[in-house]
């Protein structure tokens, strides 16, 4: 059962007050790091690391491959708040609950949300290590973080998603990739599935036919909340494996992490370059 919206609002406000009391600077940009990508947080200068478990009201992480820390500081000359580790629908959280950190950081004044994930490639033109700039999404998670009474102070009842991913940020990302000489940077549609089971061959074929270029188990709920809160959104998927429905290979978490970590260097370079431009 979901807590009442008043209880949820009170929890959000507790987290906001706590962070207002300990952050030296208002974060401009929120970065959410996916599986195998959390090392980006090591690049932050003057970091203040706050474990999620110390933030009143925050959900607690259950996935061992994800560190659960909020790291605040400076990166690429910008005040950033890095969410090192996220919460997933498959862990049992409602999407309203798992998106609480984004709601809290939006209320602290952050204006831009940069989200990353490790994803399975569905576009046969992708390879392991492709960085996909998310241009649109499909929400196949059977929940919406805005379900239930709307908090009008937080955003509109029916937020428009016709331009979910900021066009200018996508273009800047492509320009940065070119400048850095990164070859495997593409654009595409990300599909969020509930998980935790991976896709069957028939589901892989279906998702591709639906227009998805990559598939994963995250990101879309957070993006919906960020847009509801009026934040600009940039999403980047790191393709760890490419799924061919006619010859589907086992998809194993250890391989996903290893492949994502290999691509993490390019991802980090791109991210730092983009932050300079935002
Ligand atoms: N499917 C779903 N989620 C994923 C995959 C995949 O193939 N790879 C990484 N995350």
How do residues 41-81 score in pLDDT, each as one tens digit?
Answer: 889 998 999 999 999 999 876 655 456 899 999 998 899 99
Instruction: Find out whether the beta carbon of 242 lies less than 6 Å from any atom of ligand 1.
Output: no
The reported pLDDT for the residue numbered 253 is: 87
15/99 Cα distance (integer angstroms): 13
Lowest mean pLDDT among 39-43, 118-122, 272-276: 39-43
Instruction: Find out whether the beta carbon of 198 lies less than 6 Å from any atom of ligand 1.
Output: yes
Cα of 257 vs centre of ligand 1, distance in Å, is 11
94/146 Cα distance (integer angstroms): 11
- Average pLDDT over all residues of the chain: 94
Cα of 251 vs centre of ligand 1, distance in Å, is 7
- Which DSSP letter does residue 152 get? T
The reported pLDDT for the residue numbered 61 is: 65
Cα of 58 vs centre of ligand 1, distance in Å, is 26
Architecture of the domain whose range is 5-277: 3-Layer(aba) Sandwich (3.40)
pTM here? 0.96
Which span out of 4-18, 75-89, 251-265 was modeled with the highest average pLDDT?
4-18
86/106 Cα distance (integer angstroms): 16
Strands 185-192 and 214-216 come out as: parallel
Nearest CA to ligand 1 atom 9: 119
138-194 pLDDT, tens digit each: 999 999 999 999 999 999 999 999 999 999 999 999 999 999 999 899 999 999 999
Nearest CA to ligand 1 atom 3: 216
257/250 Cα distance (integer angstroms): 14
220/190 Cα distance (integer angstroms): 8
- Of 128, 134, 217, which is best to mutate to test ligand 1, by the most ligand atoms within 8 angstroms of its C-beta? 217
Contacts of 228 (CB under 8 A, 6+ apart): 145, 146, 154, 155, 156, 159
* Residue 92 falls in which region: left (phi positive, over 0), alpha (psi -120 to 50) or beta: left
Residue pair 227/159 in contact by the 8 Å Cβ criterion: yes
The reported pLDDT for the residue numbered 62 is: 63
Tell me whether the omega of the peptide bond preceding residue 93 falls within 30 degrees of 0, making it cis. no
Nearest CA to ligand 1 atom 2: 216
The reported pLDDT for the residue numbered 255 is: 87
Tally Cβ neighbours within 10 Å of residue 25. Answer: 13
- Which DSSP letter does residue 165 get? S
* Residue 250 falls in which region: left (phi positive, over 0), alpha (psi -120 to 50) or beta: beta
- Of 134, 215, 252, which is best to mutate to test ligand 1, by the most ligand atoms within 8 angstroms of its C-beta? 215
Nearest CA to ligand 1 atom 7: 120
């Amino acid at each position: 059962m979901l807590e009442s919206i008043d209880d949820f609002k009170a929890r959000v406000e507790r987290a906001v007050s706590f962070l207002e009391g300990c952050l030296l600077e208002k974060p401009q940009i929120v970065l959410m790091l996916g599986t195998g990508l959390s090392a980006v947080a090591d690049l932050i200068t003057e970091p203040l690391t706050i474990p999620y478990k110390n933030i009143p009201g925050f959900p607690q992480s259950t996935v061992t491959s994800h560190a659960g820390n909020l790291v605040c500081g400076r990166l690429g000359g910008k005040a950033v708040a890095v969410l090192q580790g996220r919460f997933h629908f498959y862990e049992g959280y409602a999407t309203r609950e798992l998106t609480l950190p984004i709601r809290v950081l939006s209320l602290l004044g952050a204006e831009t949300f940069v989200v990353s994930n490790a994803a399975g490639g569905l576009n046969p033109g992708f390879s392991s290590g492709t960085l996909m700039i998310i241009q649109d999404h499909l929400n196949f998670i059977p929940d919406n973080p805005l379900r239930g009474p709307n908090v009008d102070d937080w955003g509109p009842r029916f937020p428009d998603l016709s331009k979910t991913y900021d066009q200018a940020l996508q273009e800047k990302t492509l320009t940065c990739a070119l400048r850095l000489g990164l070859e495997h940077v593409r654009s595409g549609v990300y599909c969020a599935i509930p998980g935790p089971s991976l896709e069957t061959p028939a589901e892989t074929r279906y998702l591709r036919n639906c227009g998805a270029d990559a598939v994963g188990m995250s990101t879309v709920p957070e993006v919906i909340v960020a847009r509801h809160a009026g934040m600009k959104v940039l999403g980047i998927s790191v393709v760890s494996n490419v799924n061919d429905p006619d010859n589907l290979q086992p998809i194993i978490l250890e391989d996903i992490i290893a492949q994502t970590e290999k691509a993490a260097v390019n991802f980090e370079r791109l991210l730092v370059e983009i932050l300079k431009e935002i």
